[in-house]
């Protein structure tokens, strides 16, 4: 199968639009393309690579004769429609949390566990964006010195909550500067000139859903249930790209110099560790970029074999759409079914 028949589920959303951008940029082969969305967006026209496509309402019957589904619809939509796509014979790369912790579903970051892609049973899950941004630079360090524990603090852009959240940040900023009371519709708190704990539900143990995702997904992707992971996730008034402060304890001694050496050769990673000019990864500079940027690399003196670092990545690209397309590319190249 050199050119699969592709459907994008959630085609009009931010990640769906990024799917199209990346399919074009990477010259992903396809023989047919179907754009699917909710009934509200059905009928919308989208031009891609010189051809105009009409967005169709996604239904259980939408996946006939489709080989590959790139899904960025909501979790409830995925839980409803993805089984129909699998039954129709398609491979689904799902960007929601619906199937991530299902033991029968591979959870994949291609730079880390690409071999899991070929173990799929019709669904491959894309991890949470914050998990991907954290693990792409940490995995090569894990191979070198084995990670014992990760303490993560995230600074997450409003675009993670969709285009309406970006509009709310812009509107609130204008309102505050004009001395008006800020309008709150998307977030429970004012986001302009403020930050707050991630707006996902808080569970009985005090962790929010976003933090739980990072902790559980990390162990599944790394195939290491003994790894300690704790996270605090924060929403900040940034349009696009998430940042994370990471404090990592290793089983073996590892120096900041060796960390820089390892990461300078790591796939999907760019070093930005300019101490002289105090220039380190920033959301503004990594937006629209494929790599995860890493800096502030230093020894953590509070624990033996500890390293502290700071990372930033575009959560819509590598944190979502790009990771899913990389999964599809690996499947297309290596799957026995795809090779027919």
Residues designated as active site: 129, 242
Burial class (CB in 10 A: 0-12, 13-18, 19+), 238: buried
Query: Can you tell me which residue has the tokens 């404090």?
Result: 247
Q: At what angle do helices 322-334 and 14-25 cross, to 10 degrees?
A: 50
| CA separation, residue 298 to residues 21, 34, 162, 272, 312 (Å) | 36, 48, 34, 13, 16
Cα 109 from Cα 135, distance rounded (Å): 8
DSSP state of 201: P
Q: List the beta strands (DSSP E) in the chain.
A: 5-9, 32-37, 45-48, 51-54, 56-57, 68-71, 91-94, 123-125, 147-156, 196-197, 228-235, 242-250, 269-271, 292-300, 306-313
């Amino acid at each position: 199968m050199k050119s699969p028949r592709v459907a994008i589920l959630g085609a009009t959303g931010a990640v769906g639009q990024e799917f199209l951008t990346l399919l074009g940029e990477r010259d992903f082969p396809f023989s047919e393309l179907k754009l699917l969305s909710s009934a509200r967006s059905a009928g919308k026209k989208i031009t891609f690579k010189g051809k105009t496509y009409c967005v169709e309402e996604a239904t259980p019957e939408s996946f006939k004769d489709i080989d590959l589904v790139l899904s960025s619809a909501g979790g409830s939509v995925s839980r409803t429609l993805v089984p129909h796509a699998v039954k129709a014979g398609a491979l689904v790369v799902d960007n929601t949390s619906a199937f991530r912790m299902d033991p029968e579903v591979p959870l994949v970051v291609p730079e880390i566990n690409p071999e899991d892609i070929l173990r799929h049973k019709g669904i491959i899950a894309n991890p949470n964006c914050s998990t991907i941004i954290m693990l792409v630079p940490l995995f090569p360090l894990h191979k070198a010195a084995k990670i014992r524990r990760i303490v993560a603090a995230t600074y997450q852009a409003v675009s993670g909550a969709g285009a309406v959240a970006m509009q709310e940040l812009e509107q609130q900023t204008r309102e505050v500067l004009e001395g008006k009371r800020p309008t709150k519709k998307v977030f429970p708190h004012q986001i302009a000139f403020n930050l707050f704990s991630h707006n996902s539900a808080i569970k009985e143990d005090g962790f929010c859903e976003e933090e739980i995702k990072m902790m559980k997904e990390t162990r599944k992707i790394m195939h290491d249930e003994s790894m300690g992971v704790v996270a605090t996730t924060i929403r900040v008034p940034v349009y696009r790209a998430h940042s994370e402060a990471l404090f990592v304890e290793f089983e073996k001694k590892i120096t900041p110099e060796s960390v820089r050496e390892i990461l300078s050769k790591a796939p999907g990673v760019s070093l930005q560790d300019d101490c002289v000019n105090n220039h380190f990864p920033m959301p503004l500079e990594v937006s629209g970029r494929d790599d995860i940027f890493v800096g502030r690399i230093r020894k953590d003196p509070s624990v033996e074999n500890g390293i502290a670092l700071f990372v930033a990545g575009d959560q819509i690209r590598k944190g979502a759409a790009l990771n899913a397309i990389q999964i599809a590319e690996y499947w297309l190249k290596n799957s026995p079914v795809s090779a027919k």
